[in-house]
Amino acid sequence: MSNIHIPKGWEMPENEVTPESVYLNRREVLKAMGMVSLFAAGALPACSPPQSVIDAHPEINLTDLEKTVYPANRITKYKLDRRITAEAVAGSYNNFYEFSEVKEDVDHHAQRLQTRPWQVEVTGLVKTPKVYDLDDFLKRFILEERFYRLRCVEAWAMAVPWTGFPLKALLDDVEPLPNATHVRFESFHKPFLAQGQFAFWQPWPYAEALTIKEAVNELVLMATGIYGHPLSKQHGAPIRLVVPWKYGFKSIKSITKIELVDYEPSTFWNTLQPLEYGWEANVDPNVPHPRWPQTKEELIGTREVRLTQKYNGYSDFVASLYT
């Protein structure tokens, strides 16, 4: 994240970008067939997966359990003010420094990540520490689809349909102790698989953190899916965080450990470059990055430039956290 990257390779003509209406129409077809709600309710065990997933991704092999949960019920409460970014654009312009510093190469290198089996340990200041595997998440929590904006600190932005469940539901499941003040998230550490982690001067594994008040905010999602199917590896399969009012680096990918603690944990970018990447990292157009302004953002795929909004437009949900 050392420089603002001027997008080049992934640019797509306007007419190749999936407008929200087209993405929604696909869902409407499924809905008309009665499939979305039935799948969301888990009422169709191990039957044919929804056509949209099959059509768009013949390469994705859904497990029987996944066939019952994707696509999830869409929550319309969280509105977008822009089109959904085309999946091909969002999936070929990624920040995942474990695999590459070149955004356009991440997709290729990230395919090495083995995402099954995958366990997430939830530990620390909780009454009932637990280790979940991926299927535990899919069975235990109700997945929903939400359209969110994502604003990268590098001044590019996108809008994507995530599938996941609120982090609060997970925290409720482990019962935080009263003295827990922060939640720390950690990614995998496998330098021989993810060669970016050989950079010994960087504080691997990637880690991020929220205050507990932030963590239980309704917007914070544990995402297991994107574009109606399980997360693609370059987006942080099999499970990642999504915190839409903070710069994208807070939304840590491929989580293996969540720890409740009573101190402010150190985080990857804030440790590496504290003067450039703050710990709190709320989107704020009035606070420039030391090397570029944050007043505007460029939408990947269309290159449309928009004014950046305080808290990335989510003030109604989060401003009260910071008064």
Rounded Cα distance, 296 and 84, in Å: 18
Retrieve residue 268's tokens.
């990857």
Residues binding ligand MTE (CB under 6 A)? 1, 94-98, 152, 187, 206, 235-236, 248-249, 251-254
Instruction: Give the residue with the Cβ less far from ligand MTE, 96 or 314.
Output: 96
Instruction: Give the residue with the Cβ less far from ligand MTE, 40 or 106.
Output: 106
Instruction: Give the residue with the Cβ less far from ligand MTE, 236 or 244.
Output: 236
Strands 296-299, 156-166: parallel, antiparallel or unpaired by DSSP?
Answer: parallel
For residue 180, count other CB atoms closer than 10 A to its CB: 18
Cα-Cα end-to-end distance for the chain:
30
* Radius of gyration, CA atoms only, the chain: 19
Retrieve residue 105's tokens.
């190469």
Q: How far is the CB of 269 from ligand MTE (least distance, A)?
A: 7
Q: How far is the CB of 156 from ligand MTE (least distance, A)?
A: 8
Q: Are 97 and 2 in contact (CB under 8 A)?
A: no
Instruction: Give the residue with the Cβ less far from ligand MTE, 96 or 165.
Output: 96
Instruction: Give the residue with the Cβ less far from ligand MTE, 254 or 312.
Output: 254
Instruction: Give the residue with the Cβ less far from ligand MTE, 68 or 187.
Output: 187
* Secondary structure (3-state) at 105: helix
Q: How far is the CB of 234 from ligand MTE (least distance, A)?
A: 6
Q: How far is the CB of 196 from ligand MTE (least distance, A)?
A: 8
Strands 73-74, 144-151: parallel, antiparallel or unpaired by DSSP?
Answer: parallel
Please identify the residue of the shown chain whose CB is closest to the bound ligand MTE: 248
Rounded Cα distance, 300 and 304, in Å: 8
Q: How far is the CB of 236 from ligand MTE (least distance, A)?
A: 6
Q: How far is the CB of 206 from ligand MTE (least distance, A)?
A: 4
Estimate to the nearest angstrom the gap between the alpha carbon of 282 and the chain centroid.
Answer: 16
